[in-house]
Structure 1
């Protein structure tokens, strides 16, 4: 039996939100198809609500008639566009949308290097059209397009952690924060959203869906995508897995694995240095050189990740989670958790627990 979502409204055709995903040649495929899938799953969920509610306008409605979202993938020239993985996609021309209302504009990412070789026509179109769009978003290196169009000046923004320094150097008016999964920056009622790399576009889209039609629909879209937890925007891009990958085969590969299974123990610099068979001073210096952050920040990230996983996947008491993850007390866990995620641990559990 399909659940009924009491806070999900069935929209009229005139209230259907037009979501345009603007793409450039060699786009990163998942940057576009991830959000596209999330919105489509929300559309399927709300179409079921419409059928259950037996809304007259929905009765006998053709399967392709949108209920909540109309989705368009468009490029400057339209037609078939090659993607970074090599799979071609069919797009509409962006100038064909000039007289159509756009609710949400999402700019997908492309491979970026020091040359910042952006498509100038797309930059110009974004700059011209953005003032008439309710909210403008980017996924991954799509932030470079928003920055080049002047939309991120004076705003806080994020992108793929690997490209954050490049974005900050080339666009110094942008307040780049490489840590969050996504950022929502609102100025004078105009919202600009930026997200981290690749799969973070799905988290961004789920947050947009939640803002539009409510938490229950966003969570059902996540279930349809087999995304077991909708990550909050404040969650860090950095993870224990990324730390291990960054130094895979390096001097701290084994140390990261050891840390992950010993989170409740003493993980001071002295203890970690002993495990790595280095002096504390040498260890601290070498670690920053190899990993790009201090040992203390890695320990904190690992412990918070472990706590977040336990909160989402179990009903274990907060005291037990605090001890198992190395915080020592509930108070320490609450303080660290709120500082990182902007929400109390039990509120996090209530909102982001895995769907059962």
Structure 2
């Protein structure tokens, strides 16, 4: 039996508790209560989230043994620092646990408690630079889904906490169990820890369905050359009209946007599998491996091999 304690304080981000579903469904899949989940706060009783929903908690003073601590974040860790009592507890009790995790900006709590010193860590992308500025002894990797550094786990924002919890299930109970849990929770996949927090499709954010449809077509046919003429034809515009409207709605030229989609697809294949780089380049529409490397250097500032290495380290 593995005891997991969720440590929360007033104003916590309620999305952190969504990761409890991962452990719940692991128990259901296993057919027995492998995980025992409890919510804790400094004094116990009800704790109010940033949404206004109150959650019942146990006091840290009567916590008993806890194997894994999951520390919830808040919407803004700069204006809502962790209570001193929680920091004092983590400095002592946290080190006795099997592992400690900071979900989203919960990583700031671990940092303030000194648990991240000289370690790799991540947090919500909006606060990565602030964490690095405030805690220069931490190696902050702000574009990661989650990072495991010894007994310390940290995740990016919001739904990344689900990926972190699923990775814990995989470590505890195996890959087959993690896949089964992900399937039951209708999670598309367990994202690798080294995967980027950002989505090219979200960044483009077209304003009309027709440009969105063109982008969907492009993403499904990245192995093709995808000329402006071909994309324009899919939404019944002339190439000139298509280029003008596309740039107006996305702020990018079609060529630049398509390269971004190719990069995102290639990066995902690199992070999730072990396909040779030549195969990945061909499947995502690059002329060859060298062309893909040049695009990676422009887009990410590092070659595909470094992305693959970082993804393996993130797991």
Q: Is the 8 A contact 1:111 1:141 kept in 2?
A: yes
- Alignment-derived partner of residue 154 in structure 2: 194
Structure 1 position 141 matched with structure 2 position 101: no
- Equivalent pairs counted in the alignment come to 274
What is the CA distance between 1:216 and its match in structure 2? 0.6
Q: Deviations over 1:206-262 (max 9, x none)?
A: 1111111100111111111110211111111121134235xx77xxxx89x769837
Measured in 2, the distance between the counterparts of 1:319 and 1:156 equals 31
Q: Does structure 1 residue 261 correspond to structure 2 residue 218? A: yes
Of the candidates 153, 157, 169, which is equivalent to residue 133 of structure 2?
169
Structure 1 residue 109 displacement after superposition: 0.9
1:38 corresponds to 2:22: yes
Q: Deviations over 1:36-76 (max 9, x none)?
A: 110111011111xx6xxxxxxxxxxxxxxx3x111111111
Residue 178 of structure 1: aligned partner:
142
TM-score by length of 1: 0.66
> 1:39-78 maps to which residues of 2 (within 5 A)?
39-47=23-31, 66=33, 68-78=34-44
TM-aligned CA distance change 1:145 to 1:276, over 3 Å: farther
Match of 1:210 among 135, 158, 170: 170
Describe the SS at the equivalent of 1:109.
coil
Q: Secondary structure at the match of 1:261?
A: helix
**Pair 72,218 (structure 1): closer, same or farther in 2 beyond 3 Å:** same
The match for 2:12 among 27, 33, 43 is 27
- Any gaps of 5 or more consecutive residues in structure 1? 1-15, 51-65, 268-274, 278-286, 348-356
Aligned to 1:58: none
SS of the equivalent of 2:109 reads helix
Unaligned runs of 5+ in 2: 228-242, 297-302
For residues 159-205 of structure 1, what are the alpha-carbon distances to aligned partners after superposition, in whole Å with 9 as ceiling and x for unaligned?
0001101111111111111111000112xxxx111000010000001
Aligned to 1:80, the other structure's residue is in SS state: strand
